[in-house]
Amino acid sequence: MDDFYEKIAEILELDTLNPSDELANFPEWDSLSVLSAIAMIGADYGVNLTAADLRGVATAEALRDLVNSRRGR
């Protein structure tokens, strides 16, 4: 998952994304970005998430932690 933040940054059309960045602070973090993130996470990490799963996720690191917990890591 070394490139996780890069992939989320790409979805948000950002150059970089820091683990502590709050996703809601980016205007690009909208329903389409959420769906894109869900699709990427499913395809790349084998984790099925819903939009409801992401509602409680504040930071990029929290999103990564959620994915890792669903992967059993």
pLDDT at 32 over 80: yes
> What is the mean pLDDT of the segment spanning 51-60?
94
Six token digits for residue 61? 């690191």
Q: Helix 31-45 crosses helix 60-70 at what angle (to 10 degrees)?
A: 40
What's the predicted TM-score (pTM) here? 0.91
pLDDT in tens, 37-54: 999 999 999 999 999 999
Place of tokens 């950002």: 14
pLDDT at 2 over 80: no
| pLDDT attached to residue 1 | 65
Which CATH fold topology does 4-70 show? 1.10.1200
